[in-house]
Chains A and B, each alone.
Chain A
Amino acid sequence: MGKTIAEKILSSHSGIDARAGDIVLADVDFVMGQDGTSPLAIKAFREMGGERVFDPAKVAMVIDHGAPSPNEGTANLHRLMRDFAREQGIILYDIGEGVCHQLIPERGHVLPGDLVIGADSHTCTYGGLGAFSTGVGSTDLAAALITGKTWLKVPESMRIVCKGRLPAGTYSKDLALHLVGRLTASGAAYVSCEFCGEAVELLGVDGRLTLCNMAVETGAKAGIIAPSGEVLAWVRGRSKKKFRPVFADEGASYVDEREHDVSRLAPQVARPHRVDQVCDASDLAGTEVHQAFIGTCTNGRLEDLRVAATILEGRKIHPSVRLVVAPASRQVLMDAMREGVLKILLEAGAAVVVPGCGPCVGTHAGVPAGGEVVISTANRNFKGRMGNSSAEIYLASPATVAASAITGKITDPRKFLG
């Protein structure tokens, strides 16, 4: 019987003929931790009696969540990471390099067909390149640092077929929000989501990463898209390593297989405080916003900044709105500078902050005031997420966020697109 992408990747990495439901001990191709999870992993590494990491070239730690450090406590944790990285000779991405989930693909650390684990729930992002990647906790990370392995239950897979082409003014973020709304916050719990269909096949690398990034918001273990020719070329431009892309077999078995016609999708927004409370942006027209945020591992990529610039070009943000932009990486920032995108954003009134997570998780760089309304390109809008439990967070695409920053109200971006 045929196999799903998840079954094939977990079979090749564990050396057994793995099927959904099996528990496997698998070799990992790359492991990653960020500054919220690595300090505990380092502690667990010592507790386990760890001396050397299994392969320093396959380990990266990224300082992105509170970077540069906003206070003494965080500064001390960052130092712990820097010292560990030096001691072990692992890769360290320090402040200003960017968000982990941008850096790991961008620097060629993940290839189609790979198995990657990271101590961050959005590690599922790399499924956009056709890898099986999933989030783990700090202790699992520590065990992988020592052994080069992790244990996984081979997940059931769900086939999510997106029929039709996304209409103008809608993007992979709208698709992601729409699917999260349909599936709900636990609707794909523990499964691997294989996204396919015309709308998905047409997505570029950035859009694929965005879609898989949000798979975890449905409870999924992984989100995977079979790589396109564009993806393969993109990866070859970043890594010399050989790889073999993995595709699902004919006759693979899925727990669920559903078609979604997205050819008439409108710009989507998730309302506070749930990611799965999704509606059309136009249903919320008139809702006043105080802060707009473009960035994060979901939507801080070059394509996202370009879209925002298209809308903001020659315009100014509303006087009662702050617009914070956090490019996903130094490379994204430099490309945006070279292309003139950055100039457009700055002239429109954006406050551009250091590449990294920015205000996404409430550590610094744009904590909202009590009762304020934020419209953000992030992936989570939980109460307190941005550091203030009485703020309200709406999630949308970079286009919708940019349009809302201009009007000061939640706005369907198609109004500004020719």
Chain B
Amino acid sequence: MVLRGRSHRFGDDINTDYIIAGKYKFKTLDMDELARHVMEDLDPGFHARLKPGDFIVAGKNFGCGSSREQAPLALIHAKVGAVIAASFARLFYRNAVNTGLPVVECDTGSILDGDELEVDLSRGTVRNLTRGTTVRASPLPPFMQRIFEDGGLAAHIRKHGGFHLGT
């Protein structure tokens, strides 16, 4: 799968409270409503500027903090194409794979705000079309790859009638 979009650049340690604030998540399961408030406390104009397929690009420890799955779900509903970060907090990474949000771990140091990117999920590469550079991403662990390919954990469990860890 090849994704294309523009980079929206954030720093290190972006926590799930910033992705979607607690004051919204307890009120509704309507993810389109939550999608309108993503990143609001850090950047109130973010949702208005975001175009479908755009990428969130961040430093290390993206998604630290609470276990809220509303974080990846709200990003999916905001039509974020993928999150590309130097590293991820474990809960966010797990929740993203479980819900089907592409997460790409690679060196993001050279990507600036507004850069045009092309992400090849199967080959694990991120091409920076603005700067003419390519970086390699760390692959998903095989079991997570399977969950992602099945369309998320709910689809995986439905398909196999339970966990299907085998090789």
Contacts and interface: CB of A to CB of B under 8 A. Distances in A.
Contacts of B22: 36, 65, 361-363, 384-385, 387
Contacts of A376: none
Interface stretch (A135-143, A223-231, A238-246, A323-331): A135-143
Interface string B150-163: 00111001100011
Given A140-B153, A142-B154, A143-B157, A119 B67 contact: yes
A143 B164 CA distance: 12
Consensus secondary structure, chain B interface: loop
Interface string B23-67: 101111100000000001110000000000000000011001111
A105 to B, nearest CB: 18
Contact of B29 (A43, A137, A185, A189): A43
Chain A interface category by residue count? 35 or more
A74 interface: yes
Name the residue in A43, A139, A153, A363 with the highest tally of chain B Cβ atoms < 10 Å from its Cβ: A139
Interface in B6-31: 12-13, 15, 17-18, 21-23, 25-29
B28 A121 contact: no
Contacts of B21: 362, 384, 387, 389
B125 interface: no
Given A380-B17, A384-B18, A136 B26 contact: no
Interface of A: 23, 25, 35-37, 39-40, 43-44, 47-49, 65-66, 71, 73-74, 77, 119-121, 123, 135-140, 142-143, 146-147, 149, 151, 153, 185-186, 189-190, 219, 221, 274, 361-363, 367, 380, 382-385, 387, 389
Given A119-B69, A143-B157, 16 more contacts: A23-B141, A36-B22, A36-B26, A37-B69, A40-B70, A43-B29, A44-B153, A49-B157, A138-B69, A139-B69, A139-B152, A142-B153, A186-B89, A363-B23, A363-B26, A382-B18
